[in-house]
Structure 1
Amino acid sequence: MTEKLLNHLAEGPASAPPLLLGPSLGTSYALWDQVAPELSVGHRVVRWDLPGHGGSPAALISPGASVSDLADQVIALADALGVDRFAYAGVSLGGAVGLDLAVRHPERVSSLAVICSSAHFGGAEPWRERAERVRRDGLEWLLPSANARWFAGDFTVERLIRDHAEADPAAYAACCDALAAFDLRERLGEIGAPTLLIAGRQDPATPPAHLREIADAVPGAALVEIPGASHLAPAQCPEAVLTALRAHFGQGARRGMAVRREVLGDAHVDRAQARQTPFTARFQDFISRYAWGEIWTDPTLSRRERSMITLTALVAHGHYDELAMHVRAARRNGLTPEEIGAVLLQAAVYCGVPAANSAFATAQRVLAEEEDGAREG
């Protein structure tokens, strides 16, 4: 790992949709210990440390830093990992980073969850004062109040308290500078990514009103309030946070299933679902979420164009059962029999005559069945 990157931990299948998780000031990626492993079942989860926190170098941040500077570090991390578009969830300062990413890099953020955070953090002066004292006296004076600031009741997480104590004071103070300067209220309406706000009802730092303010300004945003949760909700109420995030980030699978039905038809999808077993369930979810929820919904290519590409690929690999299914799909996507024939003829040149011969036979059978069905109808 290069020193120029934020320290991070990646979990989950490399082929799964990426999900980046951002921490709160004073914590490390251990904040997500009770949530990230479960999310990694269906996502490639990458959780990262703030500069000077956990394993991230303090040199990555300087006095007078902004939230945008931190967001740029996240983009650099995503680029280094080969991640172009990602879902994002962040707590407090990590949530502010998510808002900044969604405003300045909308093409990178597929969906967003902002947890116990704000579009502004109560004015600049208290954060400037904290930064000044941390630079002068270190972090020791903040430690006795950490539990009251972070958790409700007698709850605590020793690992997070230790992270707070071990953070680099200069980097912590620079993060305070970023919070002091942060105010994104005027730009919240620009956020187009599906957005979920999660508030802890007992959070004194960013009470539910702060999350409600974001929810009211971001088009289509949803708000969940968690009883019994204070500022570090993923640590204190992990099941509630996990349930909300699963429902929000699972939209790809639901969207994918809708597209799958539009392209392949209800009858085919119903048969596939009826044949599903516990052994094949994750594969079926993978198809709906990735192939149909990510690839087929990408607006770069039309469905007609995707059908032509798919037909060619299936001919090239000799997948004639799948080819029959996608000839029907091509008709639903607007291709005429003549256009399907032209695609198969093109495939004959580049994939070979024997492959195209079998493909023409398959397509002719499907088109004849379609014609017979139309006459009977």
Structure 2
Amino acid sequence: MTRELLDHRAEGPASAPPLLLGPSLGTSHALWDEVAPELSITHRVVRWNLPGHGGSAPGLLRAGATVGDLAALVLELADALGIERFGYAGVSLGGAAGLHLAVHHPQRVSSLAVLCSSAHFNGAGPWRERAALVRREGLASLAESADARWFTPGFTVPRLVRDHRDADPEAYAACCDALAAFDLRDRLADIAVPTLLVAGREDPATPPAHLREIADAVPGAALVEIPGASHLAPAQCPGAVLSALRAHFGASAGPAGRGMAVRREVLGDAHVDRAQARQTPFTARFQDFISRYAWGEIWTDPTLSRRERSMITLTALVAHGHLDELALHVRAARRNGLTPEEIGAVLLQTAVYCGVPAANSAFATAQRVLAEEDGRGG
């Protein structure tokens, strides 16, 4: 009989490089809600829930469990999804699972990011006490203090607090057992995959010193500290976490990763962020096509310069009457170094080969955009 898998959510193209996202104790994969959609443009993102959290069965971990037991469940999920080698990012307990995988199953992990976590969690005693408390009284009192442990004063994410309150007490206690037994300090030097450590400067649970300890021991590891972030940095400071993870995992994302970088350089972060915010499962493959093919293969081809590509693009958009896209690419042309006079010369050329009415509309659109850019000091 096949054992039940961890509850999970998959996003992004099936052909993209896999990236698994692990949660912190007491949370669900909703911890990654502000980060996963963006990562799914360049990766096949799989975020999973701890046993007894979200939709994961409580019985997947028992009393006396270890982080190794949790890592085995992650590998079972990857195997079931046909994922042999993957990038991995995890928060707190999810980060500990990533460290275990990188040490004990290095052939499965291509790149690792450990967020707000540790190679040890301040000794076994406090975790054994918490496990006993939860087994005796449930999670209500702990959920009441979740904001203080997870976020800076005045910040909260009600969904995550609710997930904490709704977690299965016995499974939560088993996770505490795993944290109590975890200490990987003597094996950190064995980690050979590219490794990023992300610390929240205001994190009382795993302060930056814990992440610095890992960074100092893992060969070639990098450390990023996020100002204003406490223990659940992906929920509190998603933009900063995204920037760090994009930079770290981008090298493994192939044309889609390169394309997303170029797309942002040419069109600007604001436009790309709006496009990503509007993405749905229905449009995800089209967004991947744009990033991977148009931006990752065509715009990165060194045969033509970006200036030349902008001039060609403007001409094509005038020819087909795509005025909204034309406005976007007039701004892009300015970023690519074209002057207003050069843009005007391109549009004048289109009057000869695309027709005066098309050029007339194009000049009106370009004039409006350039006036807006000039008004902003662009």
**Normalized against structure 1, the TM-score is what?**
0.68
SS at match of 1:250: helix
Alignment match, 2:247: 247
Q: Does 1:283 align with 2:283?
A: no
Q: How has the CA–CA distance of structure 1 residues 229 and 70 changed in structure 2, closer, same or farther, with 3 Å as cutoff?
A: same
- Following TM superposition, the consecutive aligned residue runs of length 4 or more in structure 1 with deviations greater than 4 angstroms are 253-258, 278-281, 284-288
> What is the CA-CA distance between 1:4 and the residue it aligns to?
1.1
CA contact (8 A) 2:89 2:112 kept: yes
Show the 5 A alignment for 1:69-148. 69-148=69-148
Show the 5 A alignment for 1:314-333. none
**CA deviation string 1:135-160 (max 9, x = no partner):** 01111121221000000120100000
Alignment match, 2:189: 189
- Give 2:147's aligned amino acid: N
Separation in structure 1 between the aligned mates of residue 83 and residue 65 of structure 2, nearest angstrom: 25
Separation in structure 2 between the aligned mates of residue 257 and residue 9 of structure 1, nearest angstrom: 21
Q: Does 1:21 align with 2:21?
A: yes
CA contact (8 A) 2:14 2:44 kept: yes
> What is the CA-CA distance between 1:285 and the residue it aligns to?
6.2
Which gives a bigger RCO, structure 1 or 2 (Cα 8 Å, sep 6+)? 2
CA contact (8 A) 1:253 1:285 kept: no
- Give 1:223's aligned amino acid: L
Separation in structure 2 between the aligned mates of residue 158 and residue 143 of structure 1, nearest angstrom: 11
Q: How has the CA–CA distance of structure 1 residues 154 and 43 changed in structure 2, closer, same or farther, with 3 Å as cutoff?
A: same
CA contact (8 A) 2:41 2:256 kept: no
Q: Does 1:206 align with 2:206?
A: yes
> What is the CA-CA distance between 1:172 and the residue it aligns to?
0.2
Q: How has the CA–CA distance of structure 1 residues 64 and 170 changed in structure 2, closer, same or farther, with 3 Å as cutoff?
A: same
Separation in structure 2 between the aligned mates of residue 281 and residue 197 of structure 1, nearest angstrom: 27
CA contact (8 A) 1:85 1:109 kept: yes
- Give 2:158's aligned amino acid: E
Percent of residue pairs bearing the same amino acid type: 73
SS at match of 1:197: strand
Alignment match, 2:166: 166
Q: How has the CA–CA distance of structure 1 residues 287 and 65 changed in structure 2, closer, same or farther, with 3 Å as cutoff?
A: farther
Unaligned stretches of 5+ residues in structure 1? 259-277, 289-377
Separation in structure 2 between the aligned mates of residue 14 and residue 220 of structure 1, nearest angstrom: 30
SS at match of 2:114: strand
Separation in structure 2 between the aligned mates of residue 286 and residue 59 of structure 1, nearest angstrom: 44
Alignment match, 2:224: 224
Alignment match, 1:316: none
SS at match of 1:73: helix
Separation in structure 2 between the aligned mates of residue 253 and residue 165 of structure 1, nearest angstrom: 37
Alignment match, 1:37: 37
Q: How has the CA–CA distance of structure 1 residues 58 and 281 changed in structure 2, closer, same or farther, with 3 Å as cutoff?
A: closer
Separation in structure 2 between the aligned mates of residue 257 and residue 77 of structure 1, nearest angstrom: 25
SS at match of 2:118: coil
SS at match of 2:21: strand
> What is the CA-CA distance between 1:252 and the residue it aligns to?
2.2
- Give 2:191's aligned amino acid: I
> What is the CA-CA distance between 1:282 and the residue it aligns to?
2.2
Separation in structure 2 between the aligned mates of residue 287 and residue 75 of structure 1, nearest angstrom: 33
> What is the CA-CA distance between 1:9 and the residue it aligns to?
0.1
Unaligned stretches of 5+ residues in structure 2? 259-286, 299-378
**CA deviation string 1:257-312 (max 9, x = no partner):** 99xxxxxxxxxxxxxxxxxxx98652166669xxxxxxxxxxxxxxxxxxxxxxxx
CA contact (8 A) 2:71 2:97 kept: yes
Separation in structure 1 between the aligned mates of residue 76 and residue 106 of structure 2, nearest angstrom: 15
What is the CA RMSD across the aligned residues, in angstroms? 2.2
Alignment match, 1:4: 4
Alignment match, 1:59: 59
